[in-house]
Amino acid sequence: MKVLSDLTDPTYTDKSRFNSYERFWLGFMNDKRDLPFLYLLTRIHLFILPVAVLLFTPLLSGWIWWLTALVYFYFSQFYFKGRFGLMFHCLCHRKMFKPGYQQKIHGYISWIICPLFGHTPESYFSHHMGMHHVENNDEEDSSSTMPYQRDSLRGFLLYFFHFLFKGVIETFQYLYTRKRKKLYTRLTVGECSYIAFCIVLCFLNLKATLIVFVFPLLFARLVMMLGNWAQHSFIDNENPGNIYTNAINCINTPYNHTCWNDGYHIIHHLRPGMHYTEMPQEFLKKQDEFARQKAIIFDGIHYLHVFYYLMTKRYDKLARNLVNINNTFETEAQAISLIKKRIQKIPGRHAHI
């Protein structure tokens, strides 16, 4: 186990001067701390969007097309995907642009840029804001991990395919029964438009459609479910709605530098609208409460590590990277015992074998 050390995760350092490009965009933005998002969007528009369009044109053919497609897929799905996905996550929680610009620019990102990274228009916002943060992984959440054995590959595959084939339908049903008309309408229009759009494009250029839209969709939903699985694998079965004990924090990891402190998942569920640069300080303020609640805090590893250690049942690795705040655990064996207890499936309305 580890002691709580100095945090290395990103915080905001105030700038005294801005270049002309930054000053231009600050006229449209609410918060200067979001300038890194602007630079990411700029790079996507320079390097990803033009190549995606190029793949649909007859300008490339044969092995040159396939080489371009492979390079494009690598950079779009393995370099930019996580950065963009977690940036969009932040944009859903906090309005990046001033009134008069926010709706149009956010709509443009949702409908034009999101599909390049496997997010159907409006679906992420409708699910994440309309249901996931309302239910906080409880059994009414269509992406809840509760009914599954969370150190089981079979359990994860059941979880993934259940969400892949039923997630949108269950999200729609959830929103519909709660009379969230605006959200379930947005979800329906976005999902149906995306499917129709891809069908039409398949007749125009099948291989480009698969590379640019279809494979990224399948990959995105796998990655999102893997991430959510790791974020919500350790649940106190006596109080599954307790945010301190149904989510985790991953601190001091390079992942937080590329994905906007996404490792602070307990903090995020406690304070969904908090700016990512404020999360490390908020974590320090709540460290005594984390200890009291026996919250799961990992140091130096991120969600892919957590997922891998769960699937390989390396509880020792998990315990070794666990932060022992205020000496919550007397021994590593005690920590492993708690880990094993919190990954057990919790029977409920959506229970699975």
Give burial (CB, 10 Å; 0-12/13-18/19+) of 287.
middle
Strand residue runs (E) in 4-129: none
Candidates 65, 348, 85; CA nearest to 228 is 85
SS3 content of the chain, % helix, strand, coil (to 5): 65, 5, 30
Q: Which pLDDT belongs to residue 134?
A: 97
Whole-angstrom distance, CA of residue 71 vs CA of residue 51: 10
Mean pLDDT by groups of 10 residues along the chain of 353 residues: 96 94 97 98 98 97 97 98 98 97 97 98 96 95 96 98 96 97 97 97 98 98 98 96 97 98 98 98 98 98 98 98 96 97 83 44
Q: Which pLDDT belongs to residue 15?
A: 87
Cβ neighbours of residue 48 closer than 8 Å, sequence gap 6 or more: 72, 75, 76, 80, 116
Helices 80-93 and 35-47: angle between axes, nearest 10 degrees: 140
Question: Which residue ranges make up each domain of the chain?
Answer: 1-353
Q: Which pLDDT belongs to residue 116?
A: 98
Strand partners, 298: 250, 322
Count, in order, helices (H) and strands (E) of the chain: 20, 2
| Residue 198 tokens, joined | 């891809």
Q: Which pLDDT belongs to residue 353?
A: 41
Whole-angstrom distance, CA of residue 164 vs CA of residue 158: 10
